[in-house]
Structure 1
Amino acid sequence: MSQEVRGVIARGKGAPVEMATIVVPDPGPGEAVVRVQACGVCHTDLHYREGGINDDFPFLLGHEAAGIVEQVGAGVTDVEPGDFVVLNWRAVCGTCRACRRGKPWYCFATHNATQKMTLTDGTELSPALGIGAFVEKTLVHAGQCTKVDPAARPAAVGLLGCGVMAGLGAAVNTGGVTRGDSVAVIGCGGVGDGAVAGAALAGATTIIAVDTDPRKLEWARGFGATHTVNARETDPVEAIRELTGGFGADVVIEAVGRPETWKQAFYARDLAGTVVLVGVPTPEMKVPDLPLIDVFGRGGALKSSWYGDCLPSRDFPMLTSLYLQGRLDLDAFVTEEIALDQVEDAFGKMHHGDVLRSVVIF
């Protein structure tokens, strides 16, 4: 039988979110119902509320989540009731051209649940990133459930579901940061600090954090930044070059998603270095005007990073293990724990840069 639970929806563009009763159907073939224990408040949820993703309102918000599998549908073998899981929005298909080439982190046909969760009047909801986890229980594709060590704290490891993984993976997976590298990260919110932490894990010896907010620069130091640059006071390109012997960084990660900061990243890298765009731009933004001879002459790579090019089945258990060993401080990303009815207030704090992550605890 279907279940009725409490959840947070965005009913219209720019309107404050509201609490609602959500109808969650029993899982069908390949689906699972998960009892959510914790869910982070991410900028992507705010983008949904503001109509920046699409206009398929009403949205069931929330996606950075961990919880317990309660039910599974026919044919599900990888998870079972009682499993502690982190939810992901890249349930790989295994059969598309990327998966067949042995690169499932680029899967072009990822899965979501087939059935829809609804309001009590039958209105179908669009779950954020195919998850919808600002809700006591959610329906997802079973491939969106990644088992991790149940000793981990849900509020911490749930953040692997989006922001922390996006940043950490941008450094390690997309940027290929390795021991001895110099790395610059432009934008030090949750994603940028994830990149800082990833660069530190990978053995980078120079990690330069760039932001305009002194509080965020101080947070970045806590995650492993060896130097900080306040871009309100100093030209970040010149500062990064000065800190890298005049050459520029081996890898520059742009975690803002704006043309001007992407251009800074381009000129702040060393010859043959790598620029990684992980900040999410809005549709009207354009690649900045660059002399083509500079693109040619500087060599290297210009990459974008979706979800940190992660493979959840590979990366989530490994990063959870590092967290439990004390080698990856996921707890430091959790600024505050809040109730489900405080999501709108959390959006305001996030907009003003007061938090890295507010996390809803159920």
Structure 2
Amino acid sequence: MAQQVRGVVARAKGEPVRIETVVVPDPGPGEAVVKVQACGVCHTDLHYREGGINDEFPFLLGHEAAGVVESVGEGVTEVAPGDYVILNWRAVCGQCRACKRGRPQYCFATHNAKQKMTLTDGTELAPALGIGAFAEKTLVAAGQCTKVDPAASPAAAGLLGCGVMAGLGAAINTGGVGRGDSVAVIGCGGVGNAAVVGARLAGAAKIIAVDIDDRKLETARGLGATDTVNSRSSDPIEAIRELTGGFGADVVIEAVGRPETYEQAFYARDLAGTVVLVGVPTPEMRIDLPLLDVFGRGGALKSSWYGDCLPSRDFPMLIDLYRQGRLDLDAFVTETIALDEVEKAFERMHHGDVLRSVVVF
């Protein structure tokens, strides 16, 4: 029988979100209903509210979530009722050319639940990133649920569902940061600071954090940055080169998603170095680089989609590191809030006051 729960809905572009009654159907084949325990407030949710993703209003927001599987549909074998899970927005298909080549982290046919959650009048909701977890319960594809150690705090664990995984993966999976490498991270919000943590986990010798906000730089230093650069007062390219013996960093991670910061990343890397774009640009943005410089500097220019993660591989491993005290996910939780405080959390995010606000049920 369908259930009615409270959820945070964005009705129209730019309008404040509000609590609405959401109808969650019983799970169909390949689906699961999850009782949400915590969900982080990510900048992507604000993009949805502002119409920056698409115009398929109304949206059921929220996607960085952890919770417990309540029920599953026919044919589900990945998880069972009672499992503690982190939700992800890329359930792999197992059948596409990437999956068949043994590269499921690049799956070209990821999917979500087929049924729609609705408002009480029958209006279909578009769940953010196919999850919609600013709700007491949500319907997802079973493959979007990754079972992890239930001893992990839901407020911390859920952050692996998007931003923290994106940053960690940009360093470890996409950038291939190794022991002794020099790494620069441009943009030290939640994703950028997660890239700092990823570089530290990978054994980087020098980790340079770049931002225009001294508060964020101080946070980055606390998370493992060896050096910081305020790019309001210093040329970040010259500063990174100076801190790396005049050469530039082995890996530069751009976590802003703007042409000017991407250009900084391009010229702040060493010859044959790697640039990783994990910041999300808007559709109208363009970059103009001399093709000879692209050729002459060698190396690799990469984009990191969800940190090139494979949730079934990466989430349990990272939760184990968290439980061992080697990965401080709690440091990303600036505050815990109630469901009706999401709009206020967007405002604090806009002003750079938080790494993550987390809704706790």
Per the normalisation by structure 2, the TM-score is: 1.00
Partner of 2:302: 303
Quote the residue 2:71 is aligned against.
71
Instruction: Please state if 1:44 is matched with 2:23.
Output: no
Gapped regions of structure 2 (runs ≥ 5): none
- 1:139-173: CA deviations, max 9, x gaps? 00000000000000000010000000000000000
Which residue does the alignment assign to 1:325? 324
CA distance in 1: counterparts of 2:49 and 2:78, whole angstroms: 33
Structure 1 portions without partners, runs of 5+: none
CA drift of 1:189 comes to: 0.3
Q: 2: distance between equivalents of 1:293 and 1:33?
A: 53
Task: Give the alignment of 1:3-22 within 5 angstroms.
Answer: 3-22=3-22
Residue 291 of structure 1 and its aligned partner are, at CA, apart by 1.1
Alignment match, 2:184: 184
Deviation at 1:2, TM superposition (A): 0.1
Listed as ranges, the matches of 1:1-362 within 5 Å are 1-287=1-287, 289-362=288-361
Task: Give how far 1:101 is off.
Answer: 1.1
* 1:111 positional shift: 1.4
Query: Among the aligned pairs, what percent are the same residue?
Result: 84
CA drift of 1:128 comes to 0.2
Q: Secondary structure at the match of 1:332?
A: helix
Q: Distance in 1 between matches of 2:221 and 2:158?
A: 23
Residues 183-219 of structure 1, C-alpha deviation per residue, up to 9 Å, x if partnerless? 0000000000010000000000000000000000011
Q: What letter corresponds to residue 361 of structure 1 in structure 2?
A: V
> Between Structure 1 and Structure 2, how many residues are aligned?
361
Q: CA RMSD in A?
A: 0.4
What letter is aligned with 1:169? G
The two structures have a TM-score, normalised by structure 1, of 0.99
Structure 1 residue 122 displacement after superposition: 0.1
Alpha-carbon distance in 2 for matches of 1:81, 1:123: 28
Question: How far apart in 2 are the matches of 1:97 and 1:11?
Answer: 38
Query: Structure 2 counterpart of 1:20, which letter?
Result: E
Shift of 1:223: 1.1
Give the distance between the partners of 1:78 and 1:59, measured in 2 at CA. Answer: 27
Partner SS for 2:219: helix
For 1:227-286, what per-residue CA distance to the aligned partner results, in whole angstroms no more than 9, with x for missing partners? 000000100000000000000000000000000000000000000000000000011101
Q: Which runs of 4+ in 1 moved over 2 A?
A: none
